[in-house]
Amino acid sequence: MKAAPKHWVVLPAAGAGRRFGSAVPKQYLPLGDRRVIEHSIAVFIEHPLIAGCIVALSPGDEWWQETAYVDHPAVVRVPGGAERFDSVANALAALANQAAADDWVLVHDAARPCLTTADLDRLLAALIDEPVGALLAVPMHDTVKSAEEAFGARVERTLPRQQLWRAFTPQAFRLGQLRDALAYCRAERMAITDDASAMEQLGLRPLLIEGRADNIKITRPEDLPLAEFFLEQQRRQEQR
Ligand code: C5P
């Protein structure tokens, strides 16, 4: 009998966080009682369905060794790459030594510290019998404008928001398919900003799973106190 697919986590954490503008990369900044990246990892490590976690770090990383997971047996570090998808590709290559091609890989931004166990459970449940894969996302509630470079900051047109979603992470795909999709995009020199886009380039249609809007990615300095507030709210809701 074929073994049930396992679930692995890949955490791209090799970004310098230039938009954030701090000397310490945003994934290592303190957030409540831990660092951002420690929150991002904890939800997976504490989950019984997760077999292990690969963290892609910048070769010059001097902060990982101070985290709580540096010697954790289920967390392995690999060198990251120039772009996010290079970091993910490196982690997938390392994972291929211990995982099967049809195992699930959940790719999650190290800079997203507010993922809840309930959202993770919903994503994992959606993977049962799912042929392509799934991602957490939130329907767009704002009106979205597109601007053409030639127009500077002027509106080109308004997009119909009924069909628009904001793509979050985790995004879960089969190890073999995601490797193929990323290899294809890298060979074609496509600039992709999430893993679902790579799958879409192969003509596949990932499933959108509506998640919580507080699963934010730390991008700007004002996101950090917001994340602290969200984590505190989540903690209070759990206590009720
Ligand atoms: O820059 P951005 O916020 O889109 O990065 C999303 C995630 O990808 C972050 O966790 C960041 O550390 C990671 N990343 C990476 N390798 C890069 C660039 C970003 O692992 N070269």
User: Any idea where the domains of the chain sit in the sequence?
Assistant: 7-144+158-239
- The total of other beta-carbon atoms located within 10 Å of residue 90's CB is 20
How far apart CA 154 and CA 165 sit, in angstroms, is 23
Query: What residue has token string 């090799």?
Result: 14
- How many angstroms is it from 104 CA to the middle of ligand 1? 21
155 within 8 A of 175, measured Cβ to Cβ: no
How far apart CA 102 and CA 237 sit, in angstroms, is 36
**According to the model, what pLDDT value does residue 147 have?**
87
- How many angstroms is it from 193 CA to the middle of ligand 1? 9
Half-sphere exposure of 72 (CA within 13 A, CB side): 22
36 within 8 A of 29, measured Cβ to Cβ: yes
pLDDT in tens, the chain (240 residues): 678 999 999 999 999 877 787 889 999 999 999 999 999 999 999 999 999 999 999 999 999 999 999 999 999 999 999 999 999 999 999 999 899 999 999 999 999 999 999 999 999 999 999 999 999 999 999 999 988 876 567 888 999 999 999 999 999 999 999 999 999 999 999 989 999 999 999 999 999 999 999 999 999 999 999 999 999 999 998 876
109 CA closest ligand 1 atom index: 10
**According to the model, what pLDDT value does residue 240 have?**
62
pTM of the model: 0.96
111 within 8 A of 40, measured Cβ to Cβ: yes
- How many angstroms is it from 1 CA to the middle of ligand 1? 39
**According to the model, what pLDDT value does residue 150 have?**
66
214 within 8 A of 118, measured Cβ to Cβ: no
- How many angstroms is it from 49 CA to the middle of ligand 1? 25
25 CA closest ligand 1 atom index: 12
How far apart CA 68 and CA 206 sit, in angstroms, is 33
Residue type, 221: P
88 CA closest ligand 1 atom index: 20
- The total of other beta-carbon atoms located within 10 Å of residue 161's CB is 13
How far apart CA 56 and CA 49 sit, in angstroms, is 21
- How many angstroms is it from 81 CA to the middle of ligand 1? 10
Query: What residue has token string 């900003």?
Result: 193
81 CA closest ligand 1 atom index: 21
- How many angstroms is it from 85 CA to the middle of ligand 1? 8
Nearest residue (by CA) to ligand 1, atom 5, is 15
Ligand 1 contacts (CB < 6 A) are 12-15, 27, 56, 80-84, 87, 109-111, 217, 219
188 within 8 A of 120, measured Cβ to Cβ: no
**Non-local CB neighbours of 151 within 8 Å, separated by 6+ positions:** none
157 within 8 A of 116, measured Cβ to Cβ: no
Nearest residue (by CA) to ligand 1, atom 6, is 109
26 CA closest ligand 1 atom index: 12
Nearest residue (by CA) to ligand 1, atom 7, is 109
- How many angstroms is it from 94 CA to the middle of ligand 1? 18
Q: What superfamily in CATH does domain 7-144+158-239 come from? A: Spore Coat Polysaccharide Biosynthesis Protein SpsA; Chain A (3.90.550.10)
**Non-local CB neighbours of 208 within 8 Å, separated by 6+ positions:** 134, 135, 137, 165
